[in-house]
Amino acid sequence: MPAEGHGPGAPALDHWIAGAATPPLSGGRVDDVDPATGEVLARIARGDADDVERAVVAARAALAGPWGRATVEERARVLEAAAAGLEARADALARLESEDTGKPIALARAMDVPRAVANLRFFAGAIRHDETPCHRTDGRALNYTLRRPLGVVGLVTPWNLPLYLLTWKVGPALALGNAVVAKPSELTPRTAGVLAEVLAEAGLPPGALNVVHGLGPEAGQALVEHPDVKALSFTGGTATGARVAATAAPRFKKLSLELGGKNPTLVFADADLEAALDGTVRAGFTNQGQVCLCGSRVLVERAVYADFVDALVARVRALRVGDPRDPEVQLGALVSAGHRDKVEGYLRLAREEGGRVLCGGERPTDLSARVARGAFLTPAVVADLGPACRTVQEEIFGPVVTVHPFEGEAEALALANGVRYGLSASLWTRDLARAHRVAAALEAGMVWVNTWLLRDLRTPFGGLKDSGVGREGGRWSLDFFSDAQNVCVALEGAGPPPAPTA
């Protein structure tokens, strides 16, 4: 487990630098709070530019040492051993993730931990099977492409899927032989500490992965600014992403930004409506609606709108909200009391904008004593809002969906595409031609047809418009975490070269 026992009360969680738990130079600490109970779980290191500097020095030293010379096979084996290490600690990790985030333990067990394991295994396989292109130039030359590691890369990750998203970036970064400095969310830092230990046990040399904890504007900003950090992969809010881009762009860093969403779920009258209801509820409320891919705008063809909304409300009312430790609970706490306040603010705004809250949006009154003061909110469905309302335009990132009728494909697409975001969409229809037509016309990086969040790790992941820049996943991750170098070899006897061209 991460370093514990520094002082009284909650255990201290230190940085992980050069293969060891490392207290912050400033001595500053930030509380990591369980949003379901209000308990302080850990006092995390409050990192700053000096700590980031130490981590980058350790990362550079790792690249100059054995890690910089590790073969593909050696790197793949480290990732596989770490995947097994995470699996062996699955129960403990699920508990840490559930306590840090407020999410149901059942969800952490079923989704967060298995996916973290899968991420590391997947990128071990991906690097073993990687291929690069070779271009033959009119019989005169052979061009082949080398992948070169970038060097030190910075990873900044959010609080909604902490280990899941950190491994999604650590896997390909290490597979390619980079050294990493990671800055996990200050709200949910503990599983990152375990990951660092597990990777060390798996044989990762000291300094190849460093974790600097702390606040975004301090540790995060220092990482983004550091001149020796060659690339940044950031997942988080769109406003923070803009700040990261503004800092990184003039320093010519490679940048991958996975940002917010306001994703539509489109339900056509010809859909399997039972399946569509299941999918709409899952898309709307998984992880208390705190997944960037959540479908928070439910667009329903008018012919079935009234019946569909009635059935949706009945299902949403039946969702069990409560103590994340209860294995039957489907919705736990939101990530913090502050975030719960923000979501409640949007529900007030929805009413001011003329919306009708059909269910939910309240602080539950039937919670067990252990979690009675937690950041809970019952899942809400809001109707009667026009497409221009702020509630319909802005990312709420909580257990709130808005419902809207539409007439025909053109209106469905106008509504679906009528926001600044373009991350994902799900559409429900039995008409195959319509599915392809609408999918191609949706302004979204990822479209699911008759499903939601069915993921194949080989596929490109990322958003259009204000949902981000770049793609990760499969070869897109390998492309991001490496530089392509072309080598052009003249073929013997190919005759004089043609006049030079650019």
What DSSP letter does each residue of 177-195 carry, written as one string? T-EEEEE--TTS-HHHHHH
Rounded CA-CA distance 362/350 in Å is 14
> Is 389 a known active-site residue?
no
Tell me which residues touch ligand TXE (CB under 6 A): 156-160, 183, 185-186, 216-217, 220-221, 224, 235-237, 240, 243-244, 258-260, 292, 395, 397
Choice between 186 and 301, CB closer to ligand TXE: 186
CA max distance for the chain = 85
> Quick check: 413 and 441 in contact, CB under 8 A?
yes
Choice between 288 and 429, CB closer to ligand TXE: 288
Least distance in Å: CB of 293 to ligand TXE?
Answer: 8
Identify the CA nearest to 193 among candidates 20, 408, 347, 335: 20
Choice between 120 and 244, CB closer to ligand TXE: 244
Least distance in Å: CB of 48 to ligand TXE?
Answer: 13
Identify the CA nearest to 126 among candidates 181, 175, 93: 175
Least distance in Å: CB of 286 to ligand TXE?
Answer: 12
Least distance in Å: CB of 421 to ligand TXE?
Answer: 10
What DSSP letter does each residue of 189-227 carry, written as one string? -HHHHHHHHHHHHTTPPTTSEEE--S-IIIIIHHHHH-T
Catalytically annotated residue among 292, 344, 389, 395: 292
Least distance in Å: CB of 156 to ligand TXE?
Answer: 5
Least distance in Å: CB of 33 to ligand TXE?
Answer: 14
Where does residue 311 rank: exposed (0-12), middle (13-18), buried (19+ CB within 10 A)?
A: middle
Choice between 429 and 467, CB closer to ligand TXE: 467
Residue whose entry in the numeric block shows the structure tokens 């059909």:
358
Strand order in the sheet with 134-137: 134-137, 141-149, 482-490
266's enclosing H/E stretch is strand 263-267
Q: CB 415: neighbour CB atoms within 10 A?
A: 18
Least distance in Å: CB of 183 to ligand TXE?
Answer: 6
Choice between 221 and 391, CB closer to ligand TXE: 221
> Is 292 a known active-site residue?
yes
Q: How are beta strands 229-235 and 400-406 bridged, if at all? A: unpaired
Catalytically annotated residue among 186, 258, 395, 472: 258
Choice between 67 and 159, CB closer to ligand TXE: 159
What DSSP letter does each residue of 63-108 carry, written as one string? HHTHHHH--HHHHHHHHHHHHHHHHHTHHHHHHHHHHHH---HHHI
Rounded CA-CA distance 306/310 in Å is 6
Least distance in Å: CB of 248 to ligand TXE?
Answer: 9
Q: CB 362: neighbour CB atoms within 10 A?
A: 14
12's enclosing H/E stretch is strand 12-13
Choice between 262 and 315, CB closer to ligand TXE: 262
Up-side HSE of residue 305: CA atoms within 13 Å toward CB?
16
The encoded tokens of residue 139 equal: 């019989």
Rounded CA-CA distance 82/202 in Å is 5
Rounded CA-CA distance 141/135 in Å is 8
DSSP secondary structure code for residue 268 in this structure? -
Least distance in Å: CB of 343 to ligand TXE?
Answer: 8
Choice between 149 and 216, CB closer to ligand TXE: 216
Strand order in the sheet with 20-22: 20-22, 15-17, 209-211, 179-183, 152-156, 229-235, 254-258, 468-469
Residue with the closest Cβ to ligand TXE? 216
Choice between 185 and 429, CB closer to ligand TXE: 185
Residues 6+ apart with CB under 8 A from 400: 289, 296, 343, 346, 347, 350, 360, 361, 379, 380, 382
Q: Which residues carry out catalysis?
A: 258, 292
